[in-house]
Structure 1
Amino acid sequence: MPKRVDYDQRRREIGAALLRIADTRGLQAASMREVAAEAGVSLRLVQYYFRTKDELLLAGLGYLGEELSARVERHIPRPPTPRGMVTGTLTAVLPTDAEGRRLTRTYAAYYALALAEPKLAAQHGATYPDLLERFLANQIRSAQEAGDVDAAHDPATVAAGLLALTNGLGSSVLGGQRDGAAAQAILTYHLDGLFGGSRP
């Protein structure tokens, strides 16, 4: 009797093939046929699990978000503190190792596609960054309540600035301007200023 493949598992395998293409060649190269070849399955099978390319792209983005969330979880110290949560999250976003570089390149591929396809950006492009900003803002607010961050700061604005700084540092690492350690040192400098020099 042929082995039955779990529906969600198969979707994830196809989504992983898409993300590999995004990392190495960009999403412009990610036709349904190219994804099928990368996944080692037929085009018809890809079309069975994903009716349209947009559906596949959005599923891939969701899987990418799950990978980043798992990386963030590994970078958060125990027991967690507001500064530890902010530091761990932003450190996870930095491309300081092979996994981080892969995630950053893959997100960059989605960003490049969103620039070319405004409809995709308008519908789904800001979902994960918005969630991340809100999470960081909540941690900064908690730090303010604990007296670790100046109450004069607007948490949402600070969170947006920290995320923009981290993304910019990530681009500079991928572009060869600095290495991961230098990017981490710059991020730590700004976090020290925000948290008054307190350590996670």
Structure 2
Amino acid sequence: MRPSTRGRRPVYCSRACQARAYRSRRNPPIPAPAVPEPAGRQRQIAEAVWRIAAGRGLQMATIREIAAEADVSPRVVQYHFTNKHHLLVTALQMLHRENERGARERIAALRDASDPRVLLRATLEELLPLDDQRRTSLLVMSAYYARSLTDPALAAVFLHEGGPLEDLVAALITAAGARPSIDAAREADLLVGGVTGLGLDLLHRRRTRADVRRTLDYHLDRILAEHL
């Protein structure tokens, strides 16, 4: 992840992982993770962090609370992680890899993943809590974002990324046939930020999935030229 210069809140699947998940347009593979996943106790403890973050927020993620949620002693948590910052960062990195795997699997299952229009819509839908896994991830990432506002050490990691997702969306807009008056980069910024906000509205049940999808289709129709 690289330092952010855009000032927008990160989304539950890091923009770097989104870009990696969707950059391949034809028969995208589902490779094994590049970094070995922590197993056993470390995984158990990280999942406890996710549950606390999604349900109560990271302000409740003390070592004692995490240990209780993971059904281990605080000494076990301290044995596997040097301090709470190390634990929170490791849990975040594990969640990014989990999200990337899910994104790769979903894009591989698309009937026409080589169509830039299909790929563009699928990329943006990854920002929405359309199933339990993505809903939990968005809750966790929102908790990390809130914590990063008052935790500079965590912010240095959590906000440590550029805009690869916006760059990918801009490239897909161009490949899918943008209307002549469209600035693909500006539209990509608006789409990523807007769909992220719509995802939060879904969490609050302020909008329905059907309403969000209609809004997304409206903007794609506005941006893209009609199929010939």
TM-score between both structures, scaled by the size of structure 2: 0.72
Aligned-pair identity in percent equals 36
Q: CA deviation at 1:187?
A: 1.2
Q: CA deviation at 1:166?
A: 0.8
Cα pair distance change 1:42/1:138, threshold 3 Å? farther
Cα pair distance change 1:176/1:73, threshold 3 Å? same
**1:163 has 2:192 as partner:** yes
Partner residue of 1:83? 117
Whichever residue aligns with residue 56 of structure 2, its letter is R
Partner residue of 1:130? 163
* SS class of match (2:218): helix
Whichever residue aligns with residue 159 of structure 2, its letter is A
**1:183 has 2:212 as partner:** yes
Whichever residue aligns with residue 165 of structure 1, its letter is G
Partner residue of 2:132? 98
Cα pair distance change 1:131/1:31, threshold 3 Å? farther
* SS class of match (1:177): coil
Cα pair distance change 1:93/1:120, threshold 3 Å? same
**1:72 has 2:106 as partner:** no
Contact 2:173–2:224 (Cα < 8 Å) also in 1: no
Cα pair distance change 1:174/1:48, threshold 3 Å? same
Q: Aligned residue pairs: how many?
A: 188
Between structures 1 and 2, the one with greater helix share: 1
Contact 1:94–1:184 (Cα < 8 Å) also in 2: no
Partner residue of 1:3? none
Whichever residue aligns with residue 116 of structure 1, its letter is T
Contact 2:128–2:134 (Cα < 8 Å) also in 1: yes
* SS class of match (1:9): coil
Cα pair distance change 1:119/1:153, threshold 3 Å? farther
User: What runs of 5+ residues in structure 2 fail to find an aligned partner?
Assistant: 1-35
TM-score between both structures, scaled by the size of structure 1: 0.81
Q: CA deviation at 1:125?
A: 2.3
Distance 1:187 1:131 in 2: 20
Whichever residue aligns with residue 180 of structure 1, its letter is R
Distance 2:188 2:93 in 1: 22
Q: CA deviation at 1:35?
A: 1.2
Q: CA deviation at 1:197?
A: 4.4
**Bigger mean CA offset, 70-79 vs 27-36:** 70-79
Distance 2:37 2:204 in 1: 39
**1:8 has 2:38 as partner:** yes
Q: Give the ranges of 4+ consecutive aligned residues of structure 1 lying more than 6 Å apart after TM superposition.
A: none
Deviations 1:95-148 (A, max 9, x none): 233333222111111111111223422x122346734333323433444xxxx1
Q: CA deviation at 1:17?
A: 1.1
Q: CA RMSD in A?
A: 2.4
